[in-house]
Amino acid sequence: MSSEPTYVRKGFGLKAAVQDTLTADYDGQLVDLLLAREHTLVAGEVTIRLAKEFGFCYGVERAVEYAYQTRLKFPDKRIFLAGEIIHNPHVNAKLREMGIVFLKPSDKGFDYSGVEPADVVILPAFGVTIHDFETLRAKGCVMVDTTCGSVLNVWKRVEAYAKDGFTSLIHGKYYHEETRATASQVEKYPGGTYLVVRDMAQAEDVMAYIAGSFAGGRDAFLTKYAHAASPHFDPDKHLQRIGVANQTTMLARESLAIGEAVGATMERVFGAEHRAAHFRTFDTICSATQDRQDAVNALLAEPLDLMLVIGGYNSSNTISLAALCAERVHTFHVEDATGIDPETKEIRHRALATGQEVSETSWLPSTGAIRVGITAGASTPNNKIGETVARVLLTRGLDPATVV
């Protein structure tokens, strides 16, 4: 019988062995130059300002590194990945090139029907649901768990809510892998309940229901939030005791505001003693998300002509960064450098209002001094940031190779 462990959370001790490959795949020379010059690059009349905190966070680096370690550890085994390792198309493409097979979603979790005991399955940085985890454990295959520590902290909070009979009110996107995994933690306790709200507007629905003023009453509320709540959720029963948590990559200030507003509503409706006994809230935004949002706010205090936010269109923390930037300056969320065409002067970007990709020309003035701010989501590697900087310079007729 094999002595190979079937659950691995701390890698295989192969960090040094994969480091050169990771550096070759993801490091960026222009980013190194920006860092060496206090996050500032001047070429002709173009000034590039890079946020102090940007790109890959520790949790993402760890997840990607463990995937590379796994391939090196098991060169001859079939390796599967439950969804995407992170929300970056280039990183996921690299893993596919390494022969890692991405499992497809099913009605409940991912489709593990093709996984056999001899196989290896990587769990992504977002984590997987309890159902997924138990399914894999029953298979007996090797599981390499790259779930981010910040996500695990939220899970512990939600589990504690369920244990104490509180409904977990989760600020997040109900369809996001992380939020699905977080919500599933309530299943550890009989009657565990959750409700996911996307933003303050949806939180206001919750507050209106608590106050007895939600239009349409119980049936209308259940219809509106059927997709975002536990199957047995009953607003009359389960909005009496609430614990607030959040998807770690949401806009931090909105998560805090939702927690404060819901608590204030419970106090107004039921009294201060009820709030003290039946309401809990904690800031579970991860430190990397907070650091990147803080760094963007600091950069936006400077005079900037536009902001470029680089990262996957399905990356929640990147979308949050773009939303912050758009409040202060003209902002373009590009998936990568290919969104910028120096020849046609066109930019393809994700429109904040619709979430759809749109194209614009003349986005970058052809002459005159201009200051361009740049940041990137926590799943964006440095080489993709550097390539984007290069295309900005090329759009202005400047050769990145001459920038020294």
Could you say which of 53, 84, 159, 178 is catalytic?
Answer: 178
Q: What's the token pair of residue 69?
A: 């370690």
Q: HSE-up of 217 (CA within 13 Å, CB side)?
A: 1
387 is catalytic: no
Q: Give 151's contacts (C-beta < 8 A, 6+ positions apart).
A: 59, 125, 126, 127, 178, 181, 182, 248, 286
Residue 24's CB is within 10 A of a number of other CB atoms, namely 9
Distances (CA, A) of 250 to 292, 315, 325: 12, 10, 14
Please give the positions annotated as active site: 178
